[in-house]
Amino acid sequence: MSDSLIVNIEPAKQKLEQFIEEVKRLYLTPLNEQLSNNELSKQYEARRRIINQKIKFLESYIGIIEPNNEKRLEYIQKASKSLKKKEEEEEYATVIKEK
**Residue-wise pLDDT tens digits, 27-77:** 777 878 888 999 989 988 998 898 888 888 888 878 877 877 788 788 888
Q: pTM for this structure?
A: 0.51
How far apart are alpha carbons 43 and 10 in whole angstroms?
36
Using alpha carbons only, give the angle 9, 15, 16 rounded to the nearest 5 degrees: 85
Is residue 12 exposed (0-12), middle (13-18) or buried (19+ Cβ within 10 Å)? middle
Task: Count Cα atoms within 13 angstroms, Cβ side, for 2.
Answer: 7
**Residue-wise pLDDT tens digits, 1-15:** 556 656 667 777 788
The sign of the torsion formed by the CA atoms of 36, 37, 39, 43 equals positive
The separation between CA 5 and the C-alpha centre of its own chain, rounded to angstroms, equals 13
Overall average pLDDT of the 10-29 stretch: 79
